[in-house]
Amino acid sequence: ETGVTQTPRHLVMGMTNKKSLKCEQHLGHNAMYWYKQSAKKPLELMFVYSLEERVENNSVPSRFSPECPNSSHLFLHLHTLQPEDSALYLCASSQDSANTEAFFGQGTRLTVV
């Protein structure tokens, strides 16, 4: 596989569940990102990892917990979510330098019931 792959593509979970989103990139990039895409709102940057170290946490609630075990994998652990957390969650990667292209995965469509 090439590019950025996200699994699952769709996820429905209850507010008391615990689930994880997975992202994998095969591009040799050093930076990985989680974005949240909600209807009629700009994409919101949630987390940034550079060389497996978190460098940005954009005031995201603690019910979202990222994990970056190596430069190719990024997880978003979810627990006790709210219905307003329903959105498309996009993973991206880029070379860890200035002004370079970000490559996005297809996203995970999350519905919290």
Partner 1 sequence: GDSVTQMEGPVTLSEEAFLTINCTYTATGYPSLFWYVQYPGEGLQLLLKATKADDKGSNKGFEATYRKETTSFHLEKGSVQVSDSAVYFCALSDYTGFQKLVFGTGTRLLVSP
Question: What distance in Å separates the CA atoms of residue 38 and residue 86, rounded to the nearest whole number?
Answer: 8
Binding region for partner 1 (CB under 8 A) out of 11-19, 47-55, 66-74, 76-84: 47-55
- Asked if 2 interacts with partner 1 (CB under 8 A), we say no
Question: What distance in Å separates the CA atoms of residue 20 and residue 56, rounded to the nearest whole number?
Answer: 20
Question: What distance in Å separates the CA atoms of residue 29 and residue 61, rounded to the nearest whole number?
Answer: 27
Interacting residue with partner 1 among 22, 45, 73, 75 (CB under 8 A):
45
- Asked if 32 interacts with partner 1 (CB under 8 A), we say no
Q: Binding to partner 1 (CB under 8 A): which residues in 66-85?
A: none
- Asked if 97 interacts with partner 1 (CB under 8 A), we say yes
Question: What distance in Å separates the CA atoms of residue 50 and residue 33, rounded to the nearest whole number?
Answer: 9
Q: Which amino acid is at 78?
A: L
- Asked if 102 interacts with partner 1 (CB under 8 A), we say yes
